[in-house]
């Protein structure tokens, strides 16, 4: 539940997420929640593709948009989205690094932006990084991915099984007061967004990449069950945010701190030049983790799965140097 395992041997979280998508799409088609503009054979082919390989994060986003449209009786929109899911199912994406708004995202740029902001009607508060920022981001990300591979090939393999798109972005003028380091969403499985305006060393980028991938780990573990049962309206002190967060946010932050600690510990063995910096960061991640655990201990209402996941993180931190 905590130490990365080879996805090819243990079964990846991505496999489970895609299987859940296949089951839901089959149900939606069988019950006629959207009009049928294609036949069962076409659907079977698309579902086989989804079950067989990685898919674009935009497929997951379209699925949720389709469900919301069907619920609101926007039938034509729901049908169009279902058709797009079928059309996109045969694409076999590999890990890519790209700027937000890039032509490779196309219409998905606006679709992604709506999800990560304050609501469906809110303006998108981030935009495309300028060419210099993008060039630096692309170079640093490549170095960080190579460093993860060198430090822990299984962690690198897990990362590639969780993330399809690393998207560089910066706050727009409209969102200048709403800064961020990175972002991800359960409804955009496989995509992580990173603020390219925060210039990072390769080591700093390792922390950011592992941080966002750790959220994906928890998204995968919660695809069929909640991890905490606290009501979303309640707020608590979080180790990684100044503003109080829902308990699920505190839980995520606590787990993330342990995962970053794990990655830094692995990097320490191969990155001699940064040893002092890494030692300081390990101390800081442990401090943040301990604070998060204390908040969860006092106020968290964990499900059995949530308790198992946090317990595994605690076991690692107890044994880690």
* Four-point Cα dihedral 187, 106, 158, 89, nearest 10: 80
- pLDDT value, residue 266: 96
Per-residue pLDDT, 237? 83
The reply to whether 233 and 151 lie within a common domain is: no
* pLDDT score at 258: 97
> 144 in a domain, yes or no?
yes
Bridge-based pairing of strands 182-183 and 165-171 is unpaired
Q: What whole-number distance in Å separates Cα of residue 176 and Cα of residue 6?
A: 40
Specify whether the CB–CB gap between 12 and 161 falls below 8 A.
Answer: yes
| pTM value surpassing 0.95 | no
Q: Tell me how far apart the alpha carbons of residues 308 and 168 are, in angstroms, rounded to a whole number.
A: 33
pLDDT on residue 33: 72
219 is a domain residue: no
Same domain flag for 41 and 138: yes
Residues 38 and 186 in one domain: yes
Q: How far apart are CA 227 and CA 221, in angstroms?
A: 8
Which of 185, 295, 313 shows the shortest CA–CA distance to 245? Answer: 295
Claim to verify: residue 184 and residue 130 sit in the same structural domain: yes
In a domain? residue 210:
no
In a domain, 214, yes or no: no
Q: Which domain holds residue 179?
A: 7-203
- DSSP-derived letter for residue 228 is B
Domain count, the chain: 2
**Residue 176: per-residue pLDDT:** 46
Q: Is there a single domain that holds both residue 92 and residue 182?
A: yes
Question: Cα separation of 189 and 216, whole Å?
Answer: 7
Do residues 187 and 258 share a domain?
no
Residues 289 and 181 reside in one and the same domain: no
169 & 91 share domain: yes
Same domain, 230 and 150: no
Give yes or no: residues 92 and 52 share one domain.
yes
DSSP secondary structure string for all residues of 139-162: HHHHHHHHHHHHH-HHHHHHHHHH
Question: Which token pair is 63?
Answer: 């699925």
Q: Residue 302's beta-bridge partner residues?
A: 228
Return averaged pLDDT per consecutive 10 residues of the chain, 321 residues in all: 80 92 92 72 92 96 93 90 93 95 82 68 74 96 97 96 95 62 92 93 97 96 93 88 89 96 96 91 96 95 97 96 68
Do residues 182 and 265 share a domain? no
pLDDT of residue 179: 67
Of 151, 169, 203, the position where a domain reaches its end is: 203
- 116 & 66 share domain: yes
pLDDT number for residue 175: 47
């Amino acid at each position: 539940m905590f130490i990365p395992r080879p996805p090819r041997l243990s079964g990846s979280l991505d496999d489970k997420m895609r299987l859940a998508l296949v089951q839901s799409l089959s149900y939606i088609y069988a019950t006629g929640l959207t009009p049928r503009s294609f036949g069962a054979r076409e659907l079977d082919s698309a579902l086989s593709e989804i079950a067989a390989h990685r898919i674009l994060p935009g497929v997951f986003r379209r699925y949720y948009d389709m469900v919301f449209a069907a619920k609101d009786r926007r039938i034509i929109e729901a049908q169009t989205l279902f058709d797009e899911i079928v059309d996109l199912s045969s694409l076999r994406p590999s890990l890519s690094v790209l700027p937000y708004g890039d032509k490779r995202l196309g219409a998905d740029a606006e679709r992604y932006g709506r999800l990560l902001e304050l609501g469906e009607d809110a303006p998108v508060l981030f935009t495309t990084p300028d060419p210099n920022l993008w060039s630096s981001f692309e170079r640093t990300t490549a170095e960080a991915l190579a460093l993860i591979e060198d430090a822990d090939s299984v962690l690198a393999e897990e990362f590639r099984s969780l993330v399809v798109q690393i998207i560089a972005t910066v706050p727009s003028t409209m969102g200048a007061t709403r800064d961020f380091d990175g972002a991800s969403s359960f409804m955009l499985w496989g995509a992580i967004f990173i603020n390219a305006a925060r210039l990072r060393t390769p080591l700093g980028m390792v922390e950011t990449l592992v941080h966002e991938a750790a959220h994906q780990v928890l998204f995968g573990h919660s695809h069929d069950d909640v991890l905490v049962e606290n009501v979303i309206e309640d707020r608590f002190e979080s180790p990684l945010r100044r503003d109080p967060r829902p308990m699920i946010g505190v839980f995520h932050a606590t787990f993330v701190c342990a995962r970053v600690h794990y990655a830094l510990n692995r990097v320490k063995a191969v990155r001699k030049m940064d040893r002092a910096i890494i030692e300081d960061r390990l101390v800081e991640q442990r401090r943040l983790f301990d604070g998060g655990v204390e908040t969860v201990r006092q106020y968290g209402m964990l499900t059995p799965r949530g308790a198992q996941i946090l317990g595994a993180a605690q076991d690692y931190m107890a044994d880690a140097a």
